[in-house]
Structure 1
């Protein structure tokens, strides 16, 4: 009697026939579609699932199809890597999803979900990027939100961006990815806060250029140079950190310009009254900053 060769495992045969390796979570022979990632990982999935969760696949399957061999459907090769494709398929299949750990990963999934018209994964990613560790990167959040039309998330990100100097070199790569309108909105928000505080500090009840430079008590001639220097420092600080927290929490008490301003006195030796009310001025500046626009 002749010896028979052992029959290889069915899944292995299928993988060899397809020229790739099946993902362990998507290898059921009951599925009638095979998707191929760019790193040659294969995913078996039911066409019904794809048609009901993806506008792109719904359109694809509405076109005339060639009749595949039994249990051997044609591979649909996609541009995504296996991790991105796995994450999307887990979402549309209602399986436990992979945690998002970086914006690079989130962006890859968003681009794929947009391309394949998958609203389910888009909505899940929208929720996930509003949780740590994503909230400490407001410009990446703003980029994703403005691209996808998520207005609430975009406003939140723009408010968080006020703690950043968006003109710094480190943020230029992110800003270059934004569409023109989104960049202009963000730059206008930062500029309007700086110009808003500049304009407000030049109005009453603050010392203005039109006010007579004389001591309020003895009418001795005085120079408001300490106040002008403090105003300039406030405006410059708002330019690099429009949030204004460093102005009210630290600057107005610790800056050399602030100390000099609060120490300023009438030069008349018979008067020497304090020229500026520190407590009231701090309150007014804090109120001015609180009244500035906070979101795009």
Structure 2
């Protein structure tokens, strides 16, 4: 009686897809840690940049850490791998705010797609500067001309009072019945 045991080369239904590398600048060979997104993209980053940008990361990296090999945690290319709940698109945008502008340009926030996720990540990792930058983007004329109702809902949900007021004023140029947009589900009628 023969049992079929998958060989190492044969993927089973229980295998996790292999991780892929993030784009530049998050593929630097001298990075000292890897953040793995929820959709298995590895971001090779520098602890220093994250520590300078976020008190959360600063505190985390100041804790005594056993060597990755002895702790039982995942290691790739000799670096500890930290899995995060954010997807690769959100993490890419979020990390670009943490890096110096000479290495990574600030992401374009004229499109509102995924802004809520970036704001949530900024709050989770204590990055007030990102909250402010995203808030300014929500109140920018480029966004308010195209999507004032979405900007209002996101600002309101994110408790960005000034941006909520600015976006609310921009909606006054439109019909009293707002268009149906998914972001309205983020807020209550109150």
| 34-43 vs 141-150, which moves further | 141-150
- Does 1:121 find its partner at 2:120? no
TM-superposed CA distance for 1:123, in Å, is: 2.1
User: Where does residue 50 of structure 2 map in the other structure?
Assistant: 50
User: Where does residue 21 of structure 1 map in the other structure?
Assistant: 20
The 2-side partners of 1:40 and 1:126 are apart by 29
Larger-gyration structure (1/2): 1
The 1-side partners of 2:117 and 2:64 are apart by 30
User: Deviations 1:254-290 (Å, cap 9, x if unpaired)?
Assistant: xxxxxxxxxxxxxxxxxxxxxxxxxxxxxxxxxxxxx
The 2-side partners of 1:104 and 1:87 are apart by 11
Normalized per residue, which structure has more strand?
Answer: 2
User: Where does residue 167 of structure 2 map in the other structure?
Assistant: 157
User: Where does residue 100 of structure 1 map in the other structure?
Assistant: 109
> Relative contact order (alpha carbons < 8 A, sep ≥ 6): 1 or 2 greater?
2
| Structure 2: stretches of 5+ with no match in the other structure | 1-17, 70-74
The 2-side partners of 1:151 and 1:175 are apart by 17
SS at match of 2:43: strand
RMSD: 2.6
TM-superposed CA distance for 1:32, in Å, is: 1.3
User: Where does residue 86 of structure 2 map in the other structure?
Assistant: 80
| Structure 1: stretches of 5+ with no match in the other structure | 1-18, 185-296
The 2-side partners of 1:58 and 1:85 are apart by 18
The 2-side partners of 1:121 and 1:151 are apart by 16
SS at match of 2:67: coil
Residue 169 to residue 121, structure 1, CA distance change in 2 (3 Å): closer
User: Deviations 1:42-75 (Å, cap 9, x if unpaired)?
Assistant: 1111112212212332333344422124961221
CA contact (8 A) 1:36 1:76 kept: yes
Instruction: Report how many residues are paired.
Output: 162
TM-superposed CA distance for 1:144, in Å, is: 2.6
SS at match of 1:170: coil
